[in-house]
């Protein structure tokens, strides 16, 4: 087992993060003082069994939830305690999210789903003024993920792999600095899952997009540059990818 590798400069950092939940009269500690760095331009995998706290950690780092103790920092500045509106803005501009269950809106077609974060970002008037430019950007992204022939299809008209590719395009429309992927291959067959990981590697290489991915699959995790194991709410080890 390799030693923990010091990180001289990081983009996204957790500092002694702790999170617990109530289950009736019992208090379940999910995270216990987690310290973790995502380097700028890095592809990092977090592996661990179900219930180890992987998704909880990702949600805290992406400001989808708040820690009980500890801090989340972006370029050295604490962000988890900011006002709700500021955190909403950070989620819309800094973070991109990819989930296991896609979370596409069933009433919208794929290009409308990809555009939905920008519909939230801009006022109705501003979105209308820029609608042609924004639609062109969405079309380009869908083409980049191999869905130029599916733009007008609704989610119930495409495959699981195509849904995940559309979700990735949606996460990129805001031009995020950090992509947080929660079991992005969990609902896919092996070959389709490999295609999604290849796409994430391509985004990381070509765009220098920082990616943090949680997975229970060690074969998938090994495609990243660095691997972190989370066990019982604590970091067990870090290691670099073996070339």
Q: Reduced to 3 states, what is the DSSP secondary structure of residue 121?
A: helix
If pLDDT is split at 50, 70 and 90, which confidence band does 240 have?
low
Measured at the CA of 81, the angle between CA 80 and CA 82, to 5 degrees, comes to: 95
The answer to whether position 105 is within a domain reads yes
If pLDDT is split at 50, 70 and 90, which confidence band does 28 have?
confident
The answer to whether position 74 is within a domain reads no
**Has residue 217 got a pLDDT over 70?**
yes
Sorted by sequence, the CB contacts under 8 Å of residue 88 that are 6+ apart come out as: none
Q: What is the pLDDT of residues 41-82, one digit of tens each?
A: 999 999 988 878 899 999 999 999 999 999 999 999 999 999
The answer to whether position 30 is within a domain reads no
If pLDDT is split at 50, 70 and 90, which confidence band does 154 have?
very high
Rounded to an integer, what distance in angstroms lies between the CA atom of residue 222 and that of residue 160?
Answer: 23
Nearest 10 degrees: Cα torsion 136, 203, 92, 39: -160
**What average pLDDT does this structure show over 152-168?**
92
The answer to whether position 47 is within a domain reads yes
CATH of the domain at 137: 3.40.50.300
Q: What is the pLDDT of residues 218-229, one digit of tens each?
A: 888 888 999 999
The answer to whether position 17 is within a domain reads no
The answer to whether position 90 is within a domain reads yes
The answer to whether position 76 is within a domain reads no
**What average pLDDT does this structure show over 169-195?**
88
The answer to whether position 92 is within a domain reads yes
CB 141 within 8 A of CB 207: no
Query: Which of 27, 90, 22, 85 minimizes the C-alpha distance to 61?
Result: 90
Bridge partners of residue 2, in order along the sequence? none
**Has residue 12 got a pLDDT over 90?**
yes
Average pLDDT, the chain: 88
pLDDT on residue 8: 43
pTM value? 0.86
pLDDT on residue 137: 94
Rounded to an integer, what distance in angstroms lies between the CA atom of residue 195 and that of residue 201?
Answer: 10
**What average pLDDT does this structure show over 87-100?**
90
Rounded to an integer, what distance in angstroms lies between the CA atom of residue 65 and that of residue 9?
Answer: 25
Query: Which of 52, 90, 49 minimizes the C-alpha distance to 72?
Result: 90
pLDDT on residue 4: 42
Task: State the total domains in the chain.
Answer: 1
Domain that holds residue 103: 40-66+82-240
């Amino acid at each position: 087992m390799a030693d923990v590798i010091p990180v001289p400069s990081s983009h996204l950092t957790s500092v002694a993060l702790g999170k617990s939940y109530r289950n009736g009269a019992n208090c379940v500690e999910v995270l216990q003082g987690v310290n973790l760095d995502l380097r700028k331009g890095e592809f990092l995998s977090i592996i661990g069994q179900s219930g180890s706290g992987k998704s909880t950690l990702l949600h805290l780092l992406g400001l989808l939830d708040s820690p009980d103790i500890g801090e989340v920092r972006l370029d050295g500045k604490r962000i988890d305690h900011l006002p709700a509106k500021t955190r909403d803005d950070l989620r819309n501009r800094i973070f991109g999210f990819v989930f296991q269950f896609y979370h596409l809106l069933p009433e919208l077609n794929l290009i409308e789903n990809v555009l939905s974060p920008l519909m939230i970002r801009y006022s109705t008037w501003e979105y209308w003024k820029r609608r042609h430019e924004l639609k062109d950007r969405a079309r380009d992204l869908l083409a980049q993920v191999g869905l130029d022939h599916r733009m007008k299809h609704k989610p119930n008209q495409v495959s699981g792999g195509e849904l995940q590719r559309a979700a990735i395009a949606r996460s990129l429309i805001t031009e995020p600095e950090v992509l947080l992927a929660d079991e992005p291959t969990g609902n896919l067959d092996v070959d389709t899952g490999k295609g999604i990981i290849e796409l994430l590697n391509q985004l990381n290489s070509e765009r220098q997009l920082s990616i943090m991915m949680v997975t229970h699959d060690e074969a998938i995790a090994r495609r990243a540059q660095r691997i972190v194991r989370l066990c019982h709410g604590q970091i067990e080890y870090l290691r670099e990818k073996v070339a």
